[in-house]
Chain A
């Protein structure tokens, strides 16, 4: 049913595009892409597991934009048709589908849209919008880490500040690993009978996020707040004494934060902080629900030489009720540290008239003793076609830390994209 509707949407969009292309400009754009990833470590896979190949996917993205003559109203569709060879399935994914109005000091967009806030690179403090960790862990292009939100976004722009509010009628969880082809830390792996509880669709459960921002001279400041649910589920057995089923659920979450960014030391200096209030477990005594957390990020970016860019980040997250968490943690489960520290480093070098891009991105956690590395080479063969080869390497001392748990998912990937 969903698929029929989506296919109808593609057909309507194509009809719209061909009708308006008579104006001389074709509004139909998009790309054809192949993306493939091969596991780069010996994972000793069980028979039920797709082991060697982690991604084998062909994708057509169709992007259509239309606007009224005066530019005050517009519509955007970004639809992906894809074939997943690993699962032998083809489907349609609505990446974005929305209409908008833009009137002086006010704008609004209704429909599926991608919202990105905050200053971190792969370290999220105030960006609470849905993410696709499966795409990230299986070597998809980075833009696929962000999922569209079905939402109403309102922008109000009085002279003294800018405000944005995003309201989603239905909570959309993150896409998280749940099995083949991904390995991850699962403390209750024996419990295979699992069910997922989604927050009921009702007024009180609509995720809301807001941002207030303005600049002060060359500095930009922002305040953030949100109310919704943890994107990554918590897990609790139905009966702790004799568990028969594992219930995955999304606890309530409220976040508050601020950021500041501006020129300093010959580069750009950024600070972002946030408080994650775990509304369903304020005392921190429920081990199946995340502790309330404070998160802080300091980042610095500079251009050390021509066509090069270098950025470093330092990120800390602190569990606010660590003692209560330790006391309530069931025996046998590995305990998390009170503080998680992550340092990141990115070096990017362009060459051959910016058609060649060499990149190295690293996230290292001295507290978890684990790391993530992403070396990559991208070459823009023509204006239309680029190819990228790279690796996503995870490693850790212990199998339960954030990056360490993904060690067996380390892979090399290749993506080729023809844009039109």
Chain B
């Protein structure tokens, strides 16, 4: 119903160029971003995906990271658990990684190194840390607290065939960026495009959702790209075998399964 209303609004807006026509006041920037986080990072009660990351340097050298990701939302506000099993590169095959994300606290992270059968807990203060050497930070992968930035709805704008809210977020607590612009799809609330500006207010990183598909009725970004505009380094991430609401047991997100990867899920 909501969706149809949004489509009608979008069509109306398209028919009447130059005029912003709304059935009602646009939602606040905070409301839009809360919905966007829900759609982008929290969809479903749980999720499984095969993730293929391709890191390409400015000179064209490619590196690949392939992993199975299991994600589960916990009942407590905003808490999420991520279990990752690495398939590629060969040197880290069989490595597992567990992240527990809290709403307003540092993550808990554990890494399992199969060659020595060791689980190591990692200190994780810096959410701006690159995830496995890619152009995505941990925050880009699992989300950033909305309260960590101040948000303003700037305008509404079309990106390709999508009507988007354009929201500016200014970092209030330490971040990789000083300012960020996000184009949020009015229908799916997925981020379609993002631009990151550094301390000198220069554009240094851009995100794009290249492919969006419905998975079990859930709009899902199945291909995304992050480009470092200063170095030319690019990371493309493709999600395959995506599924939601599988009933992934909470036990999976534990030291036991770091050491004994749940083959049912990661094979």
Using CB atoms and an 8 Å cutoff, list the residues of chain A in contact with chain B.
Answer: 29, 31, 65, 67, 70-72, 74, 100, 102, 107, 113-116, 142-143, 145-146, 155, 157, 162, 213, 218, 220, 261, 263, 266-268, 270, 301-303, 305-307, 309, 350, 353-355, 380, 382-384, 386, 417, 419-420
B151 to chain A, nearest CB (A): 24
Using CB atoms and an 8 Å cutoff, list the residues of chain B in contact with chain A.
Answer: 55, 57, 61, 63-64, 88-91, 93-94, 100, 106, 108, 113, 115-118, 121-126, 128-130, 132-134, 233, 251, 254-256, 260, 262-265, 267
B255: chain A residues at CB < 8 Å are 162, 213, 220
A95 to chain B, nearest CB (A): 9
Q: Which of B57, B89, B133, B264 contacts A354 (CB 8 A)?
A: B133
Say whether B89 contacts A309, CB under 8 Å: no
A292 to chain B, nearest CB (A): 27
B90: chain A residues at CB < 8 Å are 29, 31, 383-384, 419-420
A208 to chain B, nearest CB (A): 18
B94: chain A residues at CB < 8 Å are 65
Q: Which of B55, B124, B256 contacts A157 (CB 8 A)?
A: B256
User: If the complex has contacts A74-B263, A383-B88, A383-B91, are A218 and B108 also in contact, measured as CB distance less than 8 A?
Assistant: yes
A355: chain B residues at CB < 8 Å are 63, 133
B260: chain A residues at CB < 8 Å are 100, 102, 107, 155
B267: chain A residues at CB < 8 Å are 67, 71
Which chain A residue lies CB-closest to B121? A268
Say whether A267 contacts B123, CB under 8 Å: yes
B113: chain A residues at CB < 8 Å are 143
Say whether A353 contacts B55, CB under 8 Å: yes
A252 to B86, CA, bound (A): 41
Say whether B133 contacts A114, CB under 8 Å: no
Say whether B91 contacts A386, CB under 8 Å: yes
A189 to chain B, nearest CB (A): 34
A390 to chain B, nearest CB (A): 18
Say whether A102 contacts B91, CB under 8 Å: no
Say whether B91 contacts A419, CB under 8 Å: yes
- Give the 7 A-B residue pairs with the shortest CB-CB distance, closest first: A71-B263, A354-B133, A383-B89, A419-B91, A419-B90, A71-B264, A353-B133
In the complex, 23 of the A-B residue pairs with CB atoms within 8 angstroms, ordered by the A residue number, are A29-B93, A31-B90, A107-B256, A114-B116, A157-B251, A213-B255, A261-B121, A266-B125, A301-B123, A302-B125, A303-B123, A305-B126, A306-B128, A306-B130, A309-B123, A353-B130, A353-B133, A353-B233, A354-B132, A380-B91, A382-B61, A384-B89, A419-B90
B123: chain A residues at CB < 8 Å are 266-268, 301-303, 309
A213 to B256, CA, bound (A): 10
B108: chain A residues at CB < 8 Å are 218, 263
A107: chain B residues at CB < 8 Å are 256, 260
Which chain B residue lies CB-closest to A95? B115
Of residues B64, B128, B256, B262, which shows the largest number of chain A Cβ atoms within 10 Å of its Cβ? B256
Which chain A residue lies CB-closest to B106? A263
A218 to B106, CA, bound (A): 11
Say whether B125 contacts A267, CB under 8 Å: yes
Which chain B residue lies CB-closest to A148? B117
A307 to B233, CA, bound (A): 17
A116 to B254, CA, bound (A): 16
B115: chain A residues at CB < 8 Å are 114, 143
Q: Which of B116, B126, B233, B262 contacts A146 (CB 8 A)?
A: B116
B129: chain A residues at CB < 8 Å are 303, 306-307
Which chain A residue lies CB-closest to B114? A114
B173 to chain A, nearest CB (A): 14
A267 to B124, CA, bound (A): 7
Say whether A383 contacts B128, CB under 8 Å: no
Q: Which of A142, A155, A307, A383 contacts B64 (CB 8 A)?
A: A383
Say whether A382 contacts B63, CB under 8 Å: yes
B121: chain A residues at CB < 8 Å are 220, 261, 268, 270, 301
B52 to chain A, nearest CB (A): 13
A65 to B118, CA, bound (A): 18
User: If the complex has contacts A70-B264, A116-B116, A419-B91, are A383 and B125 also in contact, measured as CB distance less than 8 A?
Assistant: no
A29 to B115, CA, bound (A): 13
A143: chain B residues at CB < 8 Å are 113, 115-116
A305 to B128, CA, bound (A): 10
A157: chain B residues at CB < 8 Å are 251, 256
A67: chain B residues at CB < 8 Å are 263, 267
User: If the complex has contacts A268-B121, A355-B133, A382-B63, are A306 and B116 also in contact, measured as CB distance less than 8 A?
Assistant: no
Q: Which of A74, A100, A155, A417 contacts B256 (CB 8 A)?
A: A155
Which chain B residue lies CB-closest to A146? B116
Say whether B126 contacts A383, CB under 8 Å: no
B125: chain A residues at CB < 8 Å are 266-267, 302-303
A270: chain B residues at CB < 8 Å are 121
A146 to B114, CA, bound (A): 12
Further contacts, 7 of them, CB under 8 A, given A114-B116, A301-B121: A72-B263, A107-B260, A116-B118, A266-B106, A268-B121, A353-B63, A417-B91
A309 to B55, CA, bound (A): 23
Say whether A419 contacts B89, CB under 8 Å: yes
Say whether A307 contacts B89, CB under 8 Å: no
Say whether A114 contacts B117, CB under 8 Å: yes
B141 to chain A, nearest CB (A): 14
A161 to chain B, nearest CB (A): 11
